[in-house]
Amino acid sequence: MLIYFVIEKGFEVLQLIDLTIRYWFTSEPTLSSLANNIDYAAVGRGEITSQFRDVGESRYLELRFTSSANITDWLGGNGNANIFPIGAQTGDIQCGFGSSSSPNFDQTNDYSFDPFLSSF
């Protein structure tokens, strides 16, 4: 899963801790003990937290930025912690998740999955 944010228009600067990224998926019947890994993040892997949440028959993986995360100048930021300026970008966030009890997921029934988006 690749994630990438750009704030193109707006009237105020956002704080990174106010942004939440969610990937919604359908619980597989044999799914238990989910684990997530942030493989790469332009803002730093340690600057993103992750948590799984259950909502009825669906689940989501929630990613959030820490208060010390910053967008560097090469991403349009100013290097100040917790600031997401207009026109800046987060850069790539590459992560994946899985379960030891079910190595294969069926993405076709996931709310956040779009089979027509095949390139970044």
Q: At 2, is the pLDDT very low, low, confident or very high (cuts 50, 70, 90)?
A: low
Least Cα distance to 5 among 43, 50, 39 occurs for 43
Rounded CA gap, 20 and 43, in Å? Answer: 15
What pLDDT sits at residue 111?
A: 76
The separation between CA 22 and the C-alpha centre of its own chain, rounded to angstroms, equals 6
pLDDT band at 50 (very low <50, low <70, confident <90, very high): very high
Assign domain 2-109 to its CATH superfamily: Endoglucanase-like (2.60.40.710)
Mean pLDDT across 78-93: 85
What value does the mean pLDDT take over residues 112-118? Answer: 80
Residue 74: name the closest of 48, 47, 42 by CA. 42
In the chain, where are the structural domains located?
2-109
How far apart are the C-alpha atoms of 13 and 54, rounded to whole Å?
31
pLDDT of residue 95: 87
Q: Decide: residue 69, CB within 10 A, 0-12 exposed, 13-18 middle, 19+ buried.
A: buried
